[in-house]
A and B are shown apart, each in its own frame.
Chain A
Amino acid sequence: MNALLRILSLPVHLLAKVPGLGPFVKVLSTTVGQKILMALTGLSLCGFLVAHLGGNLKLYAGEQSFNDYAHALHSLGPLLAAAEVGLFAMFALHIGLAISTAAMNRIARQKDYAVKETKQGVFILPNGGASNWMMLTGLLILVFLATHIMDMKLKANPGVDYSAAMNTEKIVANEYHAVKAVLSTPLNAAIYMVGLVALGIHLSHGVRSALQTLGINHKRWNLLLKLGGILFAWGIAIGFMSLVVWAMSYKG
């Protein structure tokens, strides 16, 4: 654990040497600062999910509409590449902080209890609700993400038949058919569904938790924040899941 922490804190030591970043690094070296950065990156990634779902829902508008959208996105060129680098950095930060704070938390407990119970009420999930499933669901999302990038971005999944999406030069050009080919592969559909359920669980705690970490908590608003967080989480997850179901059942 200690060795892991030392490796993970290397970029921080390097960053501290960059002029002007000293105070920033100092804030981020505290547990509270790290959780704040996790909250900010998490919420930013939520913003990405909204945009991504919004674009993907164009699948329902038909082949022409979706391909136009895909083309418009790809023609952004360097802007898109910059956005992708930004996204990657967000993910890397979020995941890196998750691992380092989790390792610190394990060290802080030192020795587990022989018996551990809770005074909190009953949760839908066993073991104390979504907040105790963040690591596992995060890991599942990461596996899903890796598959997703291989499928859709690199179009390199050997289990997917991309032929319907290829043009005469055997290059995958029709994004609409590519998406359908990926999502209608049973193994992929299963991985996507598991990943999206994990996403729903992750966000059902994550959104509310991020707001709390940023100091947003007031008894006047808490019920709305709690329900809003859950609604957002499952709205996003079910929105994406509907596309998998659509691709699986769509003929033609």
Chain B
Amino acid sequence: MASATSDQAPRTQRHLSRTADNGLKIVVVGGFGVGKTTLVRSVSEIRPLNTEETMTRAGEGVDELDRTSTKTATTVAFDFGRISVDDRTVLYLFGAPGQERFWFLWDRLFSGTLGAVVLVDTRRLADSWYAIDRLEHHGTPFVVARNDFGDASQHTDAQVREALDLPEHVPMITCDARDRESAKGVLIKLVQHLYALSTAARGSTHQ
């Protein structure tokens, strides 16, 4: 809490603890311009970095846009940030586009992820439909975060839930992705959700 005064992640890249040995992944997914990178930046201990992955896949019946060749190369760029949880555990946050054409990459890139944050703009809820559908299909736990940019939204949670066709068991939270405490709250909401699922799956011996 001593560092709560800094509203921006340090520009210089701090190195990890020498004992760090367990990397964790959380994915932030959403449409373009919804604030994925902003959210990552708000909580990351490094300035968000960007990298890309290029992959090919066999073209049979998977891509109607490409009938001329048997293979399709797709490049997806993604931002990421980092949070050192303790001396051994490091949490990586990935911001990635939720559009349909990227999802076959997700399966590979983000397998083993703890869970996902679906960041939504209430003015463009349809941008999130596909991502939510795929996360449910994959059984990846997720929460929905409404990025209201500090403005009170004219939509109630119930309205947004209905528009997203969001099941009752999926937590929803309102946030301002620019605000560190608010962005932190989104991640805490997700991990609390994961914790509840994990304890329930293990016969709730933990409380």
Q: Do A and B come from one complex?
A: no
Interface of B toward A, CB cutoff 8 Å = none
